[in-house]
Structure 1
Amino acid sequence: MKSMLILTDFSDAAFRAAEYATHLAPLLGAERLILYHAYRTMVVGSDVPVPAPQVENLLYIENMEKLAALQDQLRMMTDTDTKYELLAEDAFLPDQLNKLCRENEVELVVMGVAGKTGLQQFFMGSNTAQVLKTSEFPVLVVPLEAVVGKEITSIVFSTDLENISKASLEKLHHYLDLFKPEVHVINVESATEDRYSEESRKQITRLHELLEKYNPAFHYVTGTHIADSVIAFSKEHHASLIVTVPKKHSFLSSIFHKSISKELAYNSNVPLLSIPALPD
């Protein structure tokens, strides 16, 4: 892995994500970790962000100093000689994210979620939802309760049994090959007389074939709330990581993706790896 992008707003949640990423980096073979902070400058009396050279320069210096302090803290936590790069800029993160990842050969974006106060939770949840919706690159969402340094021994892959592209599956295979975990595939459906269509059955067969070498266990669960069911299942099976491949243009998938992130923020200590729906 060439680069890992760690997003931070200098909150406790963001620091936990940076800790988690720093310990995970050697396993992923990451050559450098980019600590990134996006900020916005405002001119008094204006409703929109506009350039304010003096204010922007002061903010840039202040944020770079905070990034340097974060880097120093992270360096003390591991024995590895990790290469860090610090980047702060006046930017709207969702608009800048994919361009930033392409220019820096980023293969994984890492960010925190949740916060101590309701206001922090609102903003962190909003930022997470925007990044998950926008990113064309895998995103690892690390909840505040995540245990840093814990090995990834069990993965829960949540699927709606819709077609997953070969490119997205290759990303999934990449992480399964690295972690070599116990793999659980879970599908949650509401209770109906005929739960699975012919197309769904074809996808089940396809998934069995594509994941065969990882010896996965398949679980078909009945539930009215997908996120709650996935969280409960993950806790029951002591999962180290939940993996999803949300669909970019599916309304139902967007609801699922948003709710699973919210559940992770408030109720789970299990990180979420979101692999984007990539074209073949």
Structure 2
Amino acid sequence: MKKIIAATDFSPVAENAVAYAASIAKQTGSELILYNAFVVPVHAANAMLPADGIQELLEQRKNRLEAKALLLAAVYDIKVRHEANFSFIEDELLLLIRKYKADLLVLGMPAKTLEQDLWGNTTTAAIKKLKFPVLAVPAGARPDHIKKVLFACDVLGGLSDKVLLSIRDLAALFNAEVEIFNVDQKVEDLQSEASAAVFNALDEGLDGISYYYKNVKSNTVIKAIESEIKAFEADILIMVPKKYGFWSSIVHKSKTRTMASGLDIPLLSIPV
């Protein structure tokens, strides 16, 4: 990991995510890129604020972001860049990822609400739209507490070498224990069809770290994962979002994005 992007709107949830990203940057020797998308405040838009007034607001935001970057650099002893521009954050994130050739995007995850269930938010939108690792950090999460990593996956759907490598690197970084957790309606499918291939892939991909495998039979995947988070006392959850076609997307709701909006621990979404 070389470059991490952390976006903030200076809310408590976003600022906690920035601190989380800075801590990871320190432990991995990465550079942190701090980003703020400036949106004209509603009261300013209603007042028809002139262009020079909007520019002044943008400069104030840039100065605040620069001060934050300097503070993070001093506290965590890391290199920090900062960018602020007049843009919607969803439009700018992909450009930033490409510009800096980043390895990880860190975003704050607001508390679960009915509105988020219906419409989502910036973080769930990033998980859905970006083909890029996104770390969703809820309020109160602390990176120095990562001792147990829960990887919830569809084993029969295949295990990506890239994903396993990311899990191995994360576990090695924090000296963490890993649980591979599979939820299936038919446990016997795994036992009869693909067990040898699955365990060979796990042994090769997670070589050198402590891990074990757990498979449960359930028709309610989300509830099963939530229960396992508590039972395992996981500090971070890793999931791989699945893509659906147009018609399938109408009836399917991403389990990864659903989990992200209701967790007390960070969720790392790693697209294949």
- Tell me if both proteins adopt one fold, taking TM over 0.5 as the criterion: yes
Deviation, structure 1 residue 114 = 1.2
- Is 1:108 matched with 2:104? yes
Deviation, structure 1 residue 63 = 1.7
Alignment TM-score, normalising by the size of structure 2: 0.81
Which residue number corresponds to residue 204 of structure 1? 198
For residue 229 of structure 1, the aligned residue among 224, 227, 231 is 224
Which amino acid in 1 is paired with 2:259? I
The SS at the match of 1:150 is: helix
Which amino acid in 1 is paired with 2:92? Q
Size of the alignment, in residue pairs? 261
Which residue number corresponds to residue 254 of structure 2? 255
Which residue number corresponds to residue 49 of structure 1? none
Give the structure with the larger helix fraction.
2
Quick one: structure 1 residues 193 and 20, their matched pair in 2 at CA, closer, same or farther if it must change by over 3 Å?
closer
- Equivalent-residue separation in structure 1 for 2:94 and 2:187 (angstroms): 43
- Equivalent-residue separation in structure 1 for 2:179 and 2:191 (angstroms): 22
- Equivalent-residue separation in structure 2 for 1:123 and 1:43 (angstroms): 23
Deviation, structure 1 residue 14 = 0.3
Which amino acid in 2 is paired with 1:141? A
Quick one: structure 1 residues 27 and 136, their matched pair in 2 at CA, closer, same or farther if it must change by over 3 Å?
same
String of CA shifts for 1:186-223, please: whole Å, max 9, x gaps: 01123x48554866546533443333432421111233
Alignment TM-score, normalising by the size of structure 1: 0.79
Which residue number corresponds to residue 26 of structure 1? 26
Deviation, structure 1 residue 73 = 5.1
The SS at the match of 2:262 is: helix
- Equivalent-residue separation in structure 2 for 1:74 and 1:123 (angstroms): 35
1:107-186 to 2 correspondence within 5 Å?
107-115=103-111, 125-146=120-141, 148-161=142-155, 162-186=157-181
Stretches of structure 1 lacking an aligned partner (at least 5 in a row): 47-51
- Equivalent-residue separation in structure 2 for 1:143 and 1:200 (angstroms): 36
Contact 1:244–1:273 (8 Å) recurs in 2: yes
Q: What is the RMSD of the two structures over their aligned residues, measured on CA atoms?
A: 3.3
1:49-88 to 2 correspondence within 5 Å?
53-54=51-52, 56-71=54-69, 74=72, 78=75, 80-88=76-84
The SS at the match of 1:158 is: strand
Quick one: structure 1 residues 188 and 67, their matched pair in 2 at CA, closer, same or farther if it must change by over 3 Å?
same
Which amino acid in 2 is paired with 1:158? A
The SS at the match of 1:249 is: coil
Deviation, structure 1 residue 234 = 1.8
The SS at the match of 2:268 is: strand
Quick one: structure 1 residues 249 and 180, their matched pair in 2 at CA, closer, same or farther if it must change by over 3 Å?
farther
Deviation, structure 1 residue 239 = 1.5
Stretches of structure 2 lacking an aligned partner (at least 5 in a row): none
- Equivalent-residue separation in structure 2 for 1:150 and 1:42 (angstroms): 36
